[in-house]
Amino acid sequence: MVKINGEEKAIAGRNLLEYLKTSGFEPDKVVVERNLEIVPRDELGNVTIQEEDSIEVLRFVGGG
């Protein structure tokens, strides 16, 4: 299983960029941390999600 934002998911083997797009995330508006390391935006399409990965997807929120 893979943990994404604290939730266990069976998505090992999927491409990270495709996962983001199909899960409603806008890849150009998020930061992705995989196993405590930031994944550069231009590398998202080159990352295959592995068993036991821990992924955090962070969205920027504006306010005032």
**Residue holding tokens 């821990």?**
54
Which fold does the domain 2-59 belong to in CATH?
Ubiquitin-like (UB roll) (3.10.20)
13 Cα distance to chain centroid: 13
Cβ neighbours around 36 below 10 Å, total = 7
Where in the chain are the domains?
2-59
Give CA–CA dist 14/16, Å, rounded. Answer: 6
Q: What is the pLDDT of residues 12-61, one digit of tens each?
A: 999 999 999 999 999 999 999 999 999 999 999 999 999 999 999 998 87
User: Over 70: is that where the pLDDT of 64 sits?
Assistant: no
pTM equals 0.89
